[in-house]
Amino acid sequence: MTIHYPNGKKFHKKRILSQQKNVNYKDNRFSNRGMSLEEDINATNEYYRTHKIAVIHKKPTPLQIVNVNYPKRSAAVVTEAYFKKPSTTDYNGVYKGRYLDFEAKETKNKTSFPLKNFHDHQITHMKEVVAHEGFAFALLSFSVLNEVYLLKAVDLFHYYDNQDTKRKSITKKEIETYGYHIPIGFHPRIDYLKLIDNIL
Protein backbone atom coordinates (compact mmCIF):
# COMPACT_ATOMS: atom_id res chain seq x y z
CA MET A 1 0.00 0.00 0.00
CA THR A 2 1.27 3.48 -0.87
CA ILE A 3 0.67 6.23 1.70
CA HIS A 4 1.35 9.92 1.09
CA TYR A 5 1.87 12.91 3.37
CA PRO A 6 -0.45 15.93 2.98
CA ASN A 7 2.21 17.56 0.77
CA GLY A 8 2.08 14.59 -1.64
CA LYS A 9 5.41 12.99 -0.68
CA LYS A 10 5.44 9.23 -0.20
CA PHE A 11 5.56 7.92 3.36
CA HIS A 12 8.43 5.56 4.15
CA LYS A 13 8.17 3.89 7.54
CA LYS A 14 11.42 4.16 9.44
CA ARG A 15 12.36 0.94 11.09
CA ILE A 16 15.22 0.09 13.40
CA LEU A 17 16.34 -3.29 12.15
CA SER A 18 17.85 -5.70 14.63
CA GLN A 19 21.30 -6.85 13.62
CA GLN A 20 21.16 -10.55 14.35
CA LYS A 21 24.60 -11.50 13.00
CA ASN A 22 27.53 -11.47 15.38
CA VAL A 23 25.41 -10.37 18.33
CA ASN A 24 25.64 -12.20 21.64
CA TYR A 25 23.03 -11.17 24.17
CA LYS A 26 24.32 -11.57 27.70
CA ASP A 27 20.92 -10.99 29.31
CA ASN A 28 18.48 -13.76 28.40
CA ARG A 29 16.00 -13.17 31.22
CA PHE A 30 13.21 -12.10 28.88
CA SER A 31 11.92 -13.80 25.76
CA ASN A 32 10.97 -10.78 23.60
CA ARG A 33 14.22 -8.82 23.33
CA GLY A 34 13.63 -8.17 19.61
CA MET A 35 10.39 -6.26 20.11
CA SER A 36 10.27 -2.64 19.02
CA LEU A 37 9.47 0.16 21.44
CA GLU A 38 5.98 0.47 19.94
CA GLU A 39 5.30 -3.26 20.39
CA ASP A 40 6.55 -3.11 23.98
CA ILE A 41 4.33 -0.12 24.79
CA ASN A 42 1.31 -1.72 23.12
CA ALA A 43 1.84 -4.90 25.16
CA THR A 44 2.22 -2.81 28.31
CA ASN A 45 -0.96 -0.86 27.60
CA GLU A 46 -2.84 -4.09 27.00
CA TYR A 47 -1.61 -5.33 30.39
CA TYR A 48 -2.82 -2.10 32.04
CA ARG A 49 -6.21 -2.40 30.36
CA THR A 50 -6.83 -6.10 31.11
CA HIS A 51 -5.78 -5.58 34.75
CA LYS A 52 -8.04 -2.50 34.99
CA ILE A 53 -5.09 -0.24 35.86
CA ALA A 54 -5.53 2.34 33.08
CA VAL A 55 -7.03 2.84 29.63
CA ILE A 56 -4.32 4.02 27.22
CA HIS A 57 -4.38 3.51 23.45
CA LYS A 58 -2.26 4.23 20.41
CA LYS A 59 -3.91 6.99 18.41
CA PRO A 60 -5.09 5.95 14.94
CA THR A 61 -3.52 7.81 12.03
CA PRO A 62 -6.20 9.62 9.98
CA LEU A 63 -5.93 8.52 6.35
CA GLN A 64 -7.69 9.61 3.16
CA ILE A 65 -8.17 6.50 1.03
CA VAL A 66 -7.53 7.08 -2.68
CA ASN A 67 -7.47 3.66 -4.33
CA VAL A 68 -8.92 0.33 -3.25
CA ASN A 69 -8.39 -3.03 -4.93
CA TYR A 70 -10.96 -5.82 -4.58
CA PRO A 71 -9.10 -9.12 -5.17
CA LYS A 72 -12.14 -10.96 -3.76
CA ARG A 73 -15.72 -9.96 -3.20
CA SER A 74 -15.27 -10.38 0.56
CA ALA A 75 -11.95 -8.52 0.80
CA ALA A 76 -10.82 -4.98 0.04
CA VAL A 77 -7.16 -3.92 -0.12
CA VAL A 78 -6.21 -0.24 0.17
CA THR A 79 -3.48 0.39 -2.42
CA GLU A 80 -3.02 4.17 -2.03
CA ALA A 81 -3.79 6.63 0.76
CA TYR A 82 -2.78 10.07 2.09
CA PHE A 83 -2.32 11.35 5.62
CA LYS A 84 -5.25 13.75 6.14
CA LYS A 85 -3.25 15.93 8.53
CA PRO A 86 -0.05 15.76 10.62
CA SER A 87 -0.47 13.43 13.58
CA THR A 88 -0.14 14.70 17.14
CA THR A 89 1.41 12.25 19.61
CA ASP A 90 1.41 8.45 19.64
CA TYR A 91 -0.62 7.61 22.74
CA ASN A 92 -3.24 9.01 25.09
CA GLY A 93 -5.53 7.80 27.83
CA VAL A 94 -6.65 8.06 31.43
CA TYR A 95 -4.95 6.90 34.63
CA LYS A 96 -6.39 7.55 38.09
CA GLY A 97 -8.54 10.37 36.70
CA ARG A 98 -5.56 12.08 35.03
CA TYR A 99 -5.24 12.57 31.27
CA LEU A 100 -1.97 11.21 29.86
CA ASP A 101 -0.56 12.03 26.44
CA PHE A 102 2.83 10.90 25.17
CA GLU A 103 5.14 10.33 22.27
CA ALA A 104 7.43 7.29 21.89
CA LYS A 105 10.76 7.60 20.07
CA GLU A 106 13.75 5.34 19.40
CA THR A 107 17.35 6.03 18.47
CA LYS A 108 20.39 3.89 17.68
CA ASN A 109 22.63 6.59 19.17
CA LYS A 110 24.35 5.64 22.42
CA THR A 111 25.26 9.06 23.80
CA SER A 112 22.48 11.45 22.73
CA PHE A 113 18.88 11.69 21.51
CA PRO A 114 18.36 13.72 18.29
CA LEU A 115 15.76 16.47 18.61
CA LYS A 116 14.91 16.07 14.91
CA ASN A 117 12.92 12.99 16.00
CA PHE A 118 10.28 15.43 17.29
CA HIS A 119 8.18 17.74 15.12
CA ASP A 120 6.78 21.20 15.79
CA HIS A 121 3.16 20.04 15.72
CA GLN A 122 3.91 17.34 18.31
CA ILE A 123 5.56 19.83 20.65
CA THR A 124 2.68 22.29 20.15
CA HIS A 125 0.17 19.55 20.97
CA MET A 126 2.02 18.56 24.16
CA LYS A 127 2.18 22.21 25.24
CA GLU A 128 -1.59 22.45 24.83
CA VAL A 129 -2.04 19.28 26.93
CA VAL A 130 0.17 20.71 29.69
CA ALA A 131 -1.71 24.04 29.57
CA HIS A 132 -4.92 22.11 30.32
CA GLU A 133 -3.24 20.28 33.24
CA GLY A 134 -2.87 16.97 31.45
CA PHE A 135 0.39 15.07 31.90
CA ALA A 136 2.47 14.96 28.71
CA PHE A 137 5.78 13.16 28.34
CA ALA A 138 8.04 11.22 25.98
CA LEU A 139 9.29 7.66 26.23
CA LEU A 140 12.81 7.61 24.77
CA SER A 141 14.48 4.35 23.83
CA PHE A 142 18.20 3.86 23.28
CA SER A 143 17.62 0.68 21.28
CA VAL A 144 21.24 -0.50 21.07
CA LEU A 145 21.62 -0.15 24.86
CA ASN A 146 18.14 -1.60 25.53
CA GLU A 147 17.35 1.34 27.82
CA VAL A 148 14.11 3.34 28.05
CA TYR A 149 13.58 6.68 29.80
CA LEU A 150 10.56 8.81 30.60
CA LEU A 151 11.17 12.53 30.01
CA LYS A 152 8.50 14.99 31.12
CA ALA A 153 7.25 17.24 28.32
CA VAL A 154 8.18 20.40 30.24
CA ASP A 155 11.81 19.23 30.25
CA LEU A 156 11.62 18.27 26.57
CA PHE A 157 10.29 21.78 25.76
CA HIS A 158 13.39 23.33 27.33
CA TYR A 159 15.70 21.47 24.95
CA TYR A 160 13.48 21.67 21.87
CA ASP A 161 12.84 25.42 22.19
CA ASN A 162 16.51 26.21 22.80
CA GLN A 163 18.12 24.14 20.06
CA ASP A 164 20.38 26.07 17.73
CA THR A 165 22.85 25.39 14.95
CA LYS A 166 25.31 23.81 17.41
CA ARG A 167 22.93 21.86 19.62
CA LYS A 168 20.62 19.39 17.90
CA SER A 169 20.23 16.72 20.55
CA ILE A 170 19.80 15.95 24.25
CA THR A 171 22.76 14.13 25.73
CA LYS A 172 22.12 10.78 27.37
CA LYS A 173 23.63 12.16 30.56
CA GLU A 174 21.02 14.94 30.60
CA ILE A 175 18.26 12.40 30.03
CA GLU A 176 19.62 10.31 32.90
CA THR A 177 19.68 13.44 35.09
CA TYR A 178 16.27 14.93 34.27
CA GLY A 179 14.45 11.83 33.06
CA TYR A 180 13.45 8.57 34.71
CA HIS A 181 14.92 5.20 33.79
CA ILE A 182 12.27 2.50 33.20
CA PRO A 183 13.53 -1.04 33.86
CA ILE A 184 12.39 -3.45 31.14
CA GLY A 185 10.41 -6.29 32.67
CA PHE A 186 8.18 -9.13 31.56
CA HIS A 187 4.60 -8.20 32.55
CA PRO A 188 4.30 -5.32 32.00
CA ARG A 189 7.23 -4.78 29.63
CA ILE A 190 7.71 -1.04 30.20
CA ASP A 191 5.98 -0.11 33.45
CA TYR A 192 5.91 3.66 32.96
CA LEU A 193 2.86 4.13 35.20
CA LYS A 194 4.90 3.00 38.21
CA LEU A 195 7.13 6.03 37.63
CA ILE A 196 4.19 8.35 37.02
CA ASP A 197 2.84 7.44 40.46
CA ASN A 198 5.98 9.00 41.92
CA ILE A 199 6.02 11.99 39.55
CA LEU A 200 2.43 13.20 39.90
pLDDT value at position 18? Answer: 40
**Domains of the chain: residue spans and CATH:** 37-60+86-199 (3.40.1350.10)
Q: How many CB atoms lie within 10 A of CB 91?
A: 18
pLDDT value at position 67? Answer: 78
Instruction: Output the tens digit of pLDDT for each of the chain's 200 residues.
Output: 666 556 566 666 554 444 444 434 333 333 344 458 999 999 999 999 999 999 999 986 655 666 778 877 677 777 775 655 566 899 999 999 999 999 999 999 999 999 999 999 999 999 999 999 999 999 999 999 999 999 999 999 999 998 877 789 999 999 999 999 999 998 899 999 999 999 98
DSSP state string for 104-169: EEEE--SSEEEGGGS-HHHHHHHHHHHHTT-EEEEEEEETTTTEEEEEEHHHHHHHHHT--SS--E
Q: Count of alpha carbons within 13 Å of 70, Cβ hemisphere only?
A: 2
